[in-house]
Amino acid sequence: MAMQSKAPFVLVHGAWHGGWCWRIVAAALRKAGHPVFTPTLTGMGSRLHLGRADTGLNTHIEDVANVLKFEELKGAVLVGHSYGGAVCQGVFDRVGSQISKLIMLDASVLDDGESMTSKSSPEMMAGAKASLIDGFKLPTWPPEAFGVLPEDGWVYDWVKRRLTSMPFGSLTTPLALKNGDVTDPNVLFINCNGRPFGDNSRPGLQKAKARGWTVQDLDTGHDAMVTAPDALANMLLAAL
C-alpha cells in the first residue's frame, strides 16, 4: 500500500446536505495531491434510508470517526460545515491524535452539554416537532436559507434537488466532550459574510473568537462549497 504523501482532508457536510456538496472542492484538493474523504452522515443524502428515530449527533460523530479509523488516517485536516462543525468537535474530542488541523466552515460551535436546539424557543420546538415526517425526519430548508440563490443558475437547482430531510435527533442530542472546549489558535474558523443569510452561524463566530481561534472571512454565502468552491479550496490549502 502506498504511503500517504500529503495531508488527507475529511470534509463534513451540514444539516440536510450530503457528501455530494463537496464535489467541486474535493476535486480541487485532489488535484493538489491530497487524499479527500467526504462522508455522508447517517439519515441524509445517499444514506437517507438509514436514518432512524434514535439517529443523533453521536451517530454522526461515529460516522466520521470511523472514516479516520478504517482509512487509517494520520495528520488529517478535519473540516466541518454548519451542523458538521458540531460533529467535528465531537470527532476531534475522540480521535484528536489523528487530526493535524481543525477547520470550522461557517460552523455551529457548541459548548459541552449543549445541543443545536438548546436555545430554541418552546414555540420553535413545537413547530419543528409538528412538521416531522414519520415522527423523526425534519423537512429541509430551501437553498436560499443556505445563501444559495436562483441567480446561481445550475448550482441552485443542483442543491435544491439534493437536499433531504434529516433526523431530528441530530439537533436535539447534547454534545458530550471528555476533554473540554478546544482553545487553540491553530483552529481556523471561516466566516462566510458576503450574502443574504450569510450570518447563519454568527453565534459560532462569536464562540470562535472567544476561544482564541483564528478567524478568516470569505465573501460568499453559508454554502461556500457550492457558491465559492475555488476560493474555499484555495483557503483550505493555504491553511496547511
Of 195, 202, 203, 204, the residue nearest 224 (C-alpha): 195
On whether residue 1 sits in a domain, the answer given is: no
On whether residue 167 sits in a domain, the answer given is: yes
Helix axes 57-70 and 83-95, enclosed angle (nearest 10): 50
**Can you read off the three cell numbers belonging to residue 53?**
428515530
| pTM, rounded to two decimals | 0.95
CA–CA distance, 79 with 120 (Å, rounded to integer): 26
- Tens of pLDDT, residue by residue over 204-236, are 999 999 999 999 999 999 999 999 999 999 999
Residue 3's pLDDT is 53
Residue 181's pLDDT is 83
- Residue 144 banded pLDDT, cuts 50, 70, 90: very high
On whether residue 93 sits in a domain, the answer given is: yes
Active-site residue, from 5, 46, 82, 165: 82
Q: What is the 3-state secondary structure (H, E, C) of 80-130?
A: EECHHHHHHHHHHHHHHHHEEEEEEECCCCCCCCCCCCCCCCHHHHHHHHH
Domain count, the chain: 1
Burial of residue 214 (CB within 10 Å: 0-12, 13-18, 19+) is middle
Please report, rounded to a whole number, the percentage of residues in the chain having pLDDT higher than 90: 90
Residue 66 pLDDT exceeds 70: yes
Residue 74 pLDDT exceeds 70: yes
Q: Three-state SS for 189?
A: strand
Domain range for 152: 9-238
On whether residue 3 sits in a domain, the answer given is: no
- Tens of pLDDT, residue by residue over 151-206, are 999 999 999 999 999 999 999 999 999 998 888 889 999 999 887 555 556 889 99
Q: Three-state SS for 69?
A: helix
Residue 199's pLDDT is 53
- Tens of pLDDT, residue by residue over 95-143, are 999 999 999 999 999 999 999 999 889 999 999 999 999 999 999 999 9
Summary mean pLDDT of the chain? 94
Is there a contact between 205 and 191 (Cβ–Cβ < 8 Å)? yes
On whether residue 19 sits in a domain, the answer given is: yes
Q: What is the CATH number of the domain that holds 233?
A: 3.40.50.1820
Residue 202's pLDDT is 80
82 is known as an active-site residue:
yes
On whether residue 2 sits in a domain, the answer given is: no
